[in-house]
Structure 1
Amino acid sequence: MGILSRTSYIIKSKVNSILNRAEDPTDTLDYSYEQMRDQLQQVKRGIADLTTQKKRLEMQKRRLEENVDKHNQQARTAVEQDREDLARKALEKKKAKMNQIEELERQISNLQNQQDQLVEQKDTLQTRIEEFRTKKETMKARYSAAEASTTVNEAMTATGEEFEDVGRAIERAEEQTQDMEARSAAMDELRETGAFDEVLTDKDQIDRELDQLSTDSGVEAELETLKSEVGDESAADESTSESDATTEEVDADVEAELSEIQEEEG
């Protein structure tokens, strides 16, 4: 299984696990994106490790090449000094080192191929991650917009229901107010008609009528008394007036007689 396949499998497993927990889809997208980035970092570390191994083999190859040159020079020097035995040994070492170099070259070539493949996969994965990031942000924006719209719609629905409740409350308040006003008006009417007095006393209708008759009789009697007193006062005034008139007449006669006597004496 390749790096991308393993990465895709792991990401799908993580995504499915998160979805099964019914988490926020935006969290799922962010988590998936972070997982892909982690996988990308792992691929980069893998490339770095592979490159390090390749560099080590290349360094080892250069040392072997230096030994080959050294053994080649040794063989030449030995031949110049007629030491074929030493020249043969030097050439044998040279041959062994060259075989090692060939093996290292194959390993380096394989590592290079793997490195090239990993770099290509890394670039592909990075491109997919960027595409996923764009889709993720777009999806998150859409989800946020849908969530906001849903929230607004739910709020409007709730508000509509609340308005209905308020309307019903207002109707009930209006009915209660009208009942209270009617009750107050009825109380005023009962108070004006004396109904409250009837409630506050133990007298029945007959008692109240008898009391009224007694009150009327008392008023009439008092009225007659006042009329009699006023009549007596008027009669007394007339008698006094007549007495005063008689006295004046007597006085006038006396004055007249006095006048006559005075004339006779004079």
Structure 2
Amino acid sequence: MGLFSRIETVFKSKMNKLLNRMEDPRETLDYSYERQLELLQNVKKGVAEVASSKKRLQLQRVKLVQNTDKLEKQARDAVVADSDDLARLALERKAALAQQVEGIDLEIAELDQQQEKLVESEKRLSTKVEIFKTRKESIKAQYSAAEAHVKINESVTGISEEMADVGLALERAENKTEEMKARAEAIDELMEAGTLEDLTSGRDEIDRELSKISSQSNVESELARLKAEVGKDPEKVKTGEEGTDERKEV
């Protein structure tokens, strides 16, 4: 295949695809129905024209027959008047008119046949047009229903896709929220351990160390108290009791 042939094939395929997207079967069916009605109307016009032509020939035949009868009378009168020449002339004209009448009769017979054929064609075409019309409306209704179904399905599909996107967005938001919470907790732990310096607290390193020592002292005092209460350290228990007696004497 040559280059130009390939270009032509690609162009035709593209145009065919474009036309398929643009074509509405309902519009095509309506156009075809209108064309059939035009053809049917042309057939009806043909029948009317043939009928008119036949009618004109029939009227012409009537006149010729009338003239023939008149010439017959003239020839008879000429014979009565012993005018053979005049009688011959009248009879010759009568014979010529008779030939015209025969020709008109043949033409009328032909027009009769044409009219019968056209009438039959009109009947068949009318039947086909009516069948096509019924079929056309049925196809249009089915196409409209299918089109509506497709639009509904596309809408549902679009909603489903959108909901899927929303679900993914929610999942990402939840993941980011969990990450932020974990970072916040980690920073709190580091700040409590003194690894990170809280610049907003206004405390320097000495304050933090003193606070740490105070916290440890409090912890040791609480531990001694608990051991004294449960009797784990008799010496501290005794010291605690003496301190209590001294407070009572005071």
Q: Which amino acid aligns with 2:55?
A: K
Q: 2:61 and 2:207 mapped to 1: Cα distance? A: 141
Q: Which amino acid aligns with 2:95?
A: K
- Aligned match of 1:74: 74
Q: 5 Å matches for 1:54-203? A: 54-183=54-183, 198-200=198-200
Structure 1 residue 56, shift from structure 2 partner = 1.6
Length-normalised TM-score, structure 1: 0.64
Check the 8 A contact 1:71/1:93 in 2, yes or no. yes
Q: 1:36 to 1:211 in 2, by over 3 A?
A: closer
Q: 5 Å matches for 1:235-254? A: none
Q: Percent identity?
A: 47
Check the 8 A contact 1:54/1:111 in 2, yes or no. yes
Check the 8 A contact 2:191/2:198 in 1, yes or no. no
Structure 1 residue 74, shift from structure 2 partner = 0.6
- Aligned match of 1:260: none
Length-normalised TM-score, structure 2: 0.67
Structure 1 window deviating more from structure 2 (186-195 vs 34-43): it is 186-195
Structure 1 window deviating more from structure 2 (71-80 vs 19-28): it is 19-28
Q: 1:78 to 1:123 in 2, by over 3 A?
A: same
Q: 1:211 and 1:158 mapped to 2: Cα distance? A: 62
Q: 2:148 and 2:212 mapped to 1: Cα distance? A: 81
SS at match of 2:82: coil
Structure 1 window deviating more from structure 2 (28-37 vs 153-162): it is 153-162
How many residues are aligned here?
196
Check the 8 A contact 1:19/1:28 in 2, yes or no. no
Query: Which ranges in structure 1 are unaligned for 5 or more consecutive residues?
Result: 1-17, 214-266
- Aligned match of 1:255: none
Q: 2:61 and 2:41 mapped to 1: Cα distance? A: 30
> Could you list the per-position Cα deviations for residues 27-65 of structure 1 after superposition, in whole angstroms to 9, with x for gaps in the alignment?
221111111111111111111222222122112111111
> Could you list the per-position Cα deviations for residues 126-160 of structure 1 after superposition, in whole angstroms to 9, with x for gaps in the alignment?
11000000001111111111222222222222222
Q: 2:44 and 2:92 mapped to 1: Cα distance? A: 42
Q: 1:58 to 1:78 in 2, by over 3 A?
A: same
- Aligned match of 2:12: none
Q: Which amino acid aligns with 1:152?
A: I
Check the 8 A contact 2:29/2:136 in 1, yes or no. yes
Q: 2:18 and 2:125 mapped to 1: Cα distance? A: 26
Q: Which amino acid aligns with 1:172?
A: R
Q: 1:151 and 1:53 mapped to 2: Cα distance? A: 57
Q: 1:175 to 1:77 in 2, by over 3 A?
A: same
Q: Which amino acid aligns with 1:140?
A: K
SS at match of 1:199: coil
Q: 1:73 to 1:19 in 2, by over 3 A?
A: farther
Q: 1:43 and 1:19 mapped to 2: Cα distance? A: 37
Q: 1:115 to 1:177 in 2, by over 3 A?
A: same
Check the 8 A contact 2:43/2:122 in 1, yes or no. yes
